[in-house]
Amino acid sequence: MRRGLALLLMVGFLILVAGCASTRALNADELAQLRAAPELRVVHALPSTLSVMTPGRTTAGLIGGALGGAIGGAIVGGIVAANARSEGKQLVADYRLDDPAAVVKERVVAALVEQQALPGSLTSVPSAVVSTDADALAKAFPGATILAFRTDRWEINHFGSEYGVIYHASAHLVRTSDAKEMWKLKCELDGKDFPDDGVLLRTRLQRSAELCAEKLVQQIMGSTISASVKP
């Protein structure tokens, strides 16, 4: 295994990019839709596949795009992405990495319960659903309102000679009686670096989930309410 990536996994030499690209907040009517749900189910969906982007893969993609034109670049890009996902699947298996969306779900719900932003009739579904698509949720949970969370992107990427984590998650409110997505919020951790304090990748993924939960709670409540409450 490459030395930089091996260090990341073994001793935690890791930068976690943490600027949130999405700052949309719910308006009063959208928040009221959440509070007024007669039967709320909270779920998290199966994540996207973890990707591992190495310097060699980035270079191959750039060269493929420059020399192969649109079609050649797309072919090379597809190969690079497939290899990145293949290595990511292996890392998840080898290091037993958990999908951060479950932590995002638990922390957001805990914070919203404390702020009395959720209805009294609330059921948290422990196992992951296949999709947060409105039609899929309508089939799985007919006649309910669903607050669904999903890891849209988790990626180990290189920043110079070091490796860091990019993490994107989303929260959806879906009414299954008519398969309507009432609103959707995103958290995209892409910007600022956490200080490198030598912790392991597993801990960094936990922290990314915690930070994303806080960002989503701020967007839901339209304020600086924190999701630091532990479920």
The CATH number for 155's domain is 3.40.50
Q: Which of 106, 112, 123 is nearest to 35 (CA)?
A: 112
CB-side neighbour CA atoms (13 Å) of 202: 10
Cα-Cα-Cα-Cα dihedral of 84, 202, 189, 33, to 10°? 110
pLDDT at position 165:
84
Nearest to 34 by CA among 226, 225, 228, 221: 221
Q: Is residue 230 in a domain?
A: no
- For residues 58 and 168, state if they share a domain: no
| Same-domain pairing of 104 and 24 | yes
Q: How far apart are CA 132 and CA 135, in angstroms?
A: 8
In a domain, 231, yes or no: no
Single-letter code of the amino acid located at 62: L
**Contacts of 29 by beta carbon, 8 Å cutoff, 6+ apart:** none
Enumerate residues 6+ apart whose C-beta is below 8 A from 61.
73, 76, 77, 80
pLDDT in the model for residue 66: 47
- pLDDT confidence of residue 164: 77
Q: In terms of DSSP bridges, do strands 180-189 and 14-16 run parallel, antiparallel, or are they unpaired?
A: unpaired
Intervals of the chain under pLDDT 70? 1-23, 55-80, 160-161, 191-199, 223-231
Note whether 60 and 140 are same-domain residues. no
As to burial, measured by CB atoms within 10 angstroms (0-12 exposed, 13-18 middle, 19+ buried), residue 119 is middle
Q: Do 70 and 173 belong to one domain?
A: no
Q: Can you tell me the distance from the alpha carbon of 102 to that of 60, in angstroms, rounded to the nearest whole number?
A: 34
Residue for token pair 């912790």: 199
- Asked if 80 and 162 sit in the same domain, the reply is no
Q: 177 Cβ partners below 8 Å, 6+ apart?
A: 138, 142, 143
Whole-number pLDDT of residue 135? 96
Instruction: Please tell me whether residues 80 and 113 are part of one structural domain.
Output: no
Instruction: Look at residue 170 and tell me if it is in a domain.
Output: yes
80 and 161 share a domain?
no
- Which phi and psi (to 5°) does residue 116 adopt? 55, 40
Question: What's the number of domains the chain is made of?
Answer: 2
Tell me how far apart the alpha carbons of residues 21 and 223 are, in angstroms, rounded to a whole number.
17
Same domain membership, residue 81 and residue 146: no
pLDDT given at position 106: 96
Which pLDDT belongs to residue 41? 96
Distance CA 71, CA 51 (A): 23
The pTM score is: 0.78
Q: How far is CA 119 from CA 122, 153, 225, in A?
A: 6, 30, 18
The whole domain housing 167 covers: 3-50+97-221
